[in-house]
Structure 1
Amino acid sequence: MLPAANRMRKSGEFSQVFRQGKRSGNQYLVVHTISDGQINEAGLSEVGFVVDKKVGLVVGKSVGNSVVRHRVSRKIRHIIRHYLDDLTCTAMVIRALPAAADATSDVLEQALLKEFRRLSLLRSDFSRSKNE
Structure 2
Amino acid sequence: MQSNNKLKKNQDFRMVYQKGRSMANKLLIIYIVNNNLEYNRIGFTVSKKVGNSVVRSRVKRLMKESYRLNEGKIKTSHDIVFIARPNCKESTYKEIESALLHLIRKMKLIS
Q: Under TM normalisation by the shorter chain, which class is it?
A: over 0.9
Q: Which amino acid aligns with 2:13?
A: F
State the AA in 2 paired with 1:8: L
1:126 aligned partner: none
**How far has the Cα of 1:32 moved from its partner?**
0.5
Q: Which runs of 5+ in 2 are unaligned?
A: none
Amino acid paired to 2:72: D
Bigger share in strand: 2
Whole-angstrom CA distance in 2 between matches of 1:90 and 1:44:
7
What does 1:68-79 align with in structure 2 at a 5 Å threshold?
68-79=55-66
Shift in Å, 1:78: 0.7
TM-aligned CA distance change 1:25 to 1:104, over 3 Å: same
Percent identity, aligned pairs only? Answer: 29
TM superposition score normalised by structure 2: 0.93
Where do 5+ consecutive residues of structure 1 fail to align?
54-61, 124-132
- 1:95 pairs with one of 51, 64, 83: 83
In 2, the alpha carbon distance for the partners of 1:46 and 1:102 equals 27
- Specify the SS of the correspondent of 1:82: helix
Larger radius of gyration: 1
Equivalent residue number for residue 82 of structure 1: 69
Matches within 5 A, 1:39-118: 41=37, 43-53=38-48, 62-88=49-75, 89-118=77-106
Q: Deviations over 1:24-45 (max 9, x none)?
A: 11110101001242xxx4x110
Cα offsets for 1:56-110 (capped at 9, x unmatched) = xxxxxx2000000000000000111122233224110000000011000000111
Give 1:20 shift.
0.5
Q: What secondary structure sits across from 2:69 in the alignment?
A: coil
Give the partner amino acid of 1:63.
Answer: V
Name the Cα RMSD after superposition: 1.2
